[in-house]
Each structure stands twice: as C-alpha cells, then as structure tokens.
Amino acid sequence: MFVQLNILDDINIQIVTFPKLYNMLSSCSCYSDPSCVEPAGFYNYPNPALIDLAPGFFVDCYITEATLKSNLVSLYNQSWIDEFHTRILFDYYYPFNIRTSTLNFSLHSRYNITIPINIMMQKMMTESWDTCVNYSAYYQQCHPIECKYTYAIKYDLIYIITTIIGLFGGLVTILQLIIPRAVKLIRRCWFHRHRHPRVQVFLTIQVPQNN
C-alpha cells in the first residue's frame, strides 16, 4: 500500500492510500486480488529501479503467503549469498567476520531445491519417519497400571476358506446332536397331548331260566 500526502492548506492535509500493484505487465492489485505475486529483487531508491532479482523469493500482498510461495534455490548459490551481503551492507552494520555458507547440495533430500516452502511445511519438513518402539523404557517412565494393545492382521484367502468350512462342519455336528433330541421331545409332547382314554365295554348276557 502506498500513501500520498496532499497539503490542501496550512491546516488541512489530505491522506490518500493506493493499493500496491504487483507484476506491472498484468497490473495485479491487492485491492481486487490478494494472491498477487511477483519475484523479489534489489531496487534503487528513492526512484525504484530493479537491480537484480532474488531467485526463488517472491513478494506478495501478505508476507506469509510470499514466504510459502518461495523456495530455497538461492541458498544453494554461494555467489548470490555473497552478493546479498554486499547489497544490504551487512559487514558495514555488523563488522564481525561472519561467513554464511550455502546449503549442502550433495546431501540426499526428498525435497527438490525448487519445491515451494508451503509443500515442505505440509510435510512438516521431515525427510523420513523412523519408528523405534521401546516398551521397557515406556513402562519405566510412565508406570502404567494397565496396558492393552491390538494387532491388525490381514488374513489370506486360504485361511478364510478353511475357517468357513470349519464353521460349517461345527454347525453340522451341533445340529446332528440337537435335532434328533428335539424331534423326540416334540413327538413325546404331542403324543401326551392328543392321547384318548381307553373305554372298556362290558357285555352282560342274561340267560332265561326254565321252570
């Protein structure tokens, strides 16, 4: 944002603000588009004139956004770092002999030198995750009263098939033991419920007597 002072008279002053423009070719304004971005560089003042660009660094409407869009390619170039010291008069304000060395390009890294900082931040700037479990040290440090853990095991197809067959085999065995006894019990109950009492018929025959 730029500020312009207009002196109207001895008492009144008009202050006018203008949004900063990025990328003069497309005239991107932070007023209408907060994602405006352009490469960072060195300028002469009071009349701003670009001297040299800073490879990998950007300026934006917001400092945080500009930092996340930048990369570390310049920090691998010793000549650029030395020029940066000269441009900002580092040795003049800090007369100590401080040597700034570049990042070691020969070291293996999962990140490319041109990868944006926001990508590295999303991955927590870690090269690799290594798991080291020490249960004895854990118990000595925390003294837990109870500890439970589970194993997540992925069974293969053969194990699943044999398990199903075993379940069916056990089910058949159980049915063979239960069904006959259940049928007998049902038949016995049905027989007792529908049984009729026997009726005994006695015939009496009277024989006439002769006088």
CA distance 26 to 28: 6
pLDDT digits (tens, 9 = 90+) for 16-26: 665 566 655 45
Least confident of 42-51, 122-131, 161-170, 201-210: 201-210
DSSP state of 111: S
Mean pLDDT of the 30-47 span: 77
Average pLDDT over the chain reads: 76
The CB-based long-range contact list for 173-179 (8 Å cut-off, 24+ gap) reads none
Q: How many residues does the chain have?
A: 211
The secondary element (H helix, E strand) that includes residue 84 is: helix 78-87
What end-to-end distance do the CA atoms of the chain give, in Å?
157
Task: Using the predicted structure, report yes or no on whether residue 70 has a pLDDT greater than 90.
Answer: yes
From residue 69, how far is each of 39, 60, 204 by CA, in Å? 10, 9, 124
Domain boundaries defined on the chain:
2-142
Provide the pLDDT confidence category of residue 46 given band limits of 50, 70 and 90: low
From residue 10, how far is each of 4, 15, 69, 153 by CA, in Å? 17, 15, 46, 84
